[in-house]
Structure 1
């Protein structure tokens, strides 16, 4: 347990701006309603298209059936089913590689320049990019075009910042409107749990929507809230960046230095090692979260579960409700007796246990049993983000969350590739192997946080403000 806070308040404003936070969460809720319809739809649509190609018209898998799943390894359909999984997984990897390579650049500059151009700018650009990506998929589904046209949408997402840009904007906006204490942890956690609320609302209906109508109408439905979120930002969301700073934005080189200065600049002194440790832990945690979701869908859609869209919707909804109901109370409860790093250590251990249980699951009950520990462990990522945010100066929150955005893109992209390849290699040997790897990553992240906690006790300078120059004046 920490004997001192990571940063003193330094006469900062003590109250959160609840009105601004509420409006930002409305934007994020609408945005994630769209995301949570779209993302399961993509995997299931690709699986359906490749099933049509591999099995042919005589044994095509109708989307109106709950599931077609071959359990007997001697059945010719079983071999073809494995081929469908492999092709779906590989295509998802290609899509991720296209967008991730561009997102690494766009998120870095979006975050850094938002400290000067404003947070509304940081919301609008990636939201428009996501809308164009969803529209591209709608066109592919409507006219049954070659799947490679989906590459266009991934390029547009990469250039604009896409999903990760909106996440970056939400966290930076929350940091602007909360003081650097436990309120910021809760504020950042609320952003994550807004995701859970939207998922709970949309996932169950999405499964039935796909089953009853096919893929086109759900895809159109996903695009509409994305456009609505752009309108809400333009009309309702107040700017939090001082207009005087908009004429002082740095050169591209200086913007890059602002992002990486947390790790290399002498201005941060002994905090640099703490930034390295917290970022390393965040990378490992998001490597799991951002990379395993495609494998989870494939894991559920094939033996021994053979789930269709409805059961997948039930499972995602249950997980979302669990995180929504348990997340904030767990944070509040732990804040009564301990600090954010200790919360992260405990929840990381719980999450590792949940992945072990998922790896061993062979019945629906065992898979649904993962929901409870996952909900209890949900404060993990918000806690790490809050720790990093409190160590950064107020005027560099955009640059700090650009680091978070880069970690999201890099770790998520590598995770999708790594877990897809692992799943392909081990699916016939031990189908749950990838989840054991996730558990190991969480244990390693826990070690990083333990070292962070020990160093933060011993580093006296961590409790003093950091003065960092972020313009081109050279002063």
Structure 2
């Protein structure tokens, strides 16, 4: 055997070991994310339903009709039961808004700073911090439920969790981790889409399990809270002890510590710094795409719940849960399946543009739907909706050097938190203001956001310089990644 053949075999073995190690890291991070988010999703359903239950029992302890209220059977708004039901809903909505505000405001600042630090301190430290903060919130809320403490303790639990960055900082570090362990633009996009689908699956499972635990099996709020803590703890344990670091110690030692101001600048430099001259327009266009995508998608499930509870559908929780499961599962499974095929024939930005049209079409159908058959066309038309946000993340990540991945995803997670906060107020406000003349009007507004995204992506394709996306920028990957 010649030296050249022997060298070729050795290189093949190295690449094989590298691929196997990458698969191992995915195997470890996927269940960690899934368990932590499923536990958190169940906990969210628990606190939302418990808040309404407690308000109802404290204000109208002897009126079971308020609990069994149906918008379809009580069209008379002067009816006494309707008035009581309205009071419960208003008070519940107020406290849920307080929870959201207490959670998101500190989260904005945490997400500007913490994910950026992972570029110098490694990804694992943020995995541990965020999962600990989330686990603390679940424990504190379960204690509040058991002792029937003030709702302000719930808000405090959300605020403390927000200071650690919560789920959005977790997403940021997860996407940075994926960027570390993948090579090539398409592989990176596929990895980010895969993690987005894991998040979608966690939403489906938490919705399904919470219904069974609270209602079907009658475990109640406290016991369901305990179960959610155990599930989330499994995720925390995997993050803390089993997920390996993706940045090696040599690279971390070379990176200098930054002040808080320098850290903030580092997470926003993509959109104004002279260092990114020639790419800034692309970054700004993609950031705008990300903003409108988040505004159109982040509050969709909440709006659909209100929409389906009312006329003409009058669905119950089980019917809404089935539809939600079908919509999320279909776009997750099919979306991931078609991505690899699409990437053979078209660029990632074209795939993102197609995804905007798929999402807009599903909103249009939902706005004018009058029957169950029409409603179930929504997941059919919107089957590619899951690709838009991860495609934007993937394109931006491919434009960015490896030592700035944490800073990039830090900026995106901060924007995501702000969009979530804005959407939770504006989308519900639009629904309330337009309900009287068209209860599906809000979905037309969200469809218009998708068309703005489509236009921005077309502009991006026109102005993008040839070197805006650098497939070979990953060649120095091993300089700061572990030897995978």
Q: Tell me the TM-score normalised to structure 1 length.
A: 0.88
Structure 2: give runs of 5+ residues left out of the alignment.
1-14, 475-484
Question: Is 1:188–2:192 an aligned residue pair?
Answer: yes
**1:54 CA displacement:** 5.4
| RMSD over aligned Cα atoms | 2.4
- 2:24 maps to which of 19, 30, 39: 19
Structure 1: give runs of 5+ residues left out of the alignment.
1-12, 468-475
Contact preservation (8 Å) 2:105, 2:162: yes
308 and 141 in structure 1: CA distance in 2 versus 1, 3 angstrom threshold:
farther
Contact preservation (8 Å) 2:331, 2:382: yes
320 and 226 in structure 1: CA distance in 2 versus 1, 3 angstrom threshold:
same
1:266 matched to which residue of 2?
274
- 1:384 maps to which of 392, 397, 403: 392
Hey, what's the Cα distance between the residues in 2 that align with 1:362 and 1:220? 40
Tell which deviates more after alignment, 429-438 or 50-59: 50-59
- 2:320 maps to which of 304, 309, 312: 312
Counting only pairs closer than 5 Å after superposition, residues 450-465 of structure 1 correspond to structure 2 as: 450-456=458-464, 459-462=465-468
460 and 253 in structure 1: CA distance in 2 versus 1, 3 angstrom threshold:
same
1:419 matched to which residue of 2?
427
Hey, what's the Cα distance between the residues in 2 that align with 1:273 and 1:382? 20
1:31 matched to which residue of 2?
36
**1:205 CA displacement:** 3.1
Number of residue pairs aligned between Structure 1 and Structure 2: 450
Hey, what's the Cα distance between the residues in 2 that align with 1:330 and 1:214? 41
Counterpart secondary structure, 1:378: helix
Counterpart secondary structure, 2:439: coil
Counterpart secondary structure, 2:298: helix
Hey, what's the Cα distance between the residues in 1 that align with 2:113 and 2:139? 25
Hey, what's the Cα distance between the residues in 2 that align with 1:85 and 1:188? 38
Tell which deviates more after alignment, 170-179 or 213-222: 213-222
- 1:373 maps to which of 381, 384, 387: 381
Counterpart secondary structure, 2:345: coil
Q: Tell me the TM-score normalised to structure 2 length.
A: 0.86
61 and 83 in structure 1: CA distance in 2 versus 1, 3 angstrom threshold:
closer
Contact preservation (8 Å) 1:291, 1:415: yes
2:224 matched to which residue of 1?
218
- 1:148 maps to which of 136, 152, 155: 152
125 and 195 in structure 1: CA distance in 2 versus 1, 3 angstrom threshold:
same
2:482 matched to which residue of 1?
none
Question: Is 1:94–2:98 an aligned residue pair?
Answer: yes
Hey, what's the Cα distance between the residues in 1 that align with 2:224 and 2:395? 38
102 and 200 in structure 1: CA distance in 2 versus 1, 3 angstrom threshold:
closer
1:73 matched to which residue of 2?
75
Question: Is 1:284–2:284 an aligned residue pair?
Answer: no
Counterpart secondary structure, 2:197: helix
Hey, what's the Cα distance between the residues in 2 that align with 1:288 and 1:47? 27
Hey, what's the Cα distance between the residues in 2 that align with 1:220 and 1:362? 40
Tell which deviates more after alignment, 312-321 or 332-341: 312-321
2:124 matched to which residue of 1?
120
Structure 1 segments, 4+ long, off by >6 Å, are none
Question: Is 1:395–2:366 an aligned residue pair?
Answer: no
18 and 29 in structure 1: CA distance in 2 versus 1, 3 angstrom threshold:
same
**1:76 CA displacement:** 3.3
2:452 matched to which residue of 1?
444
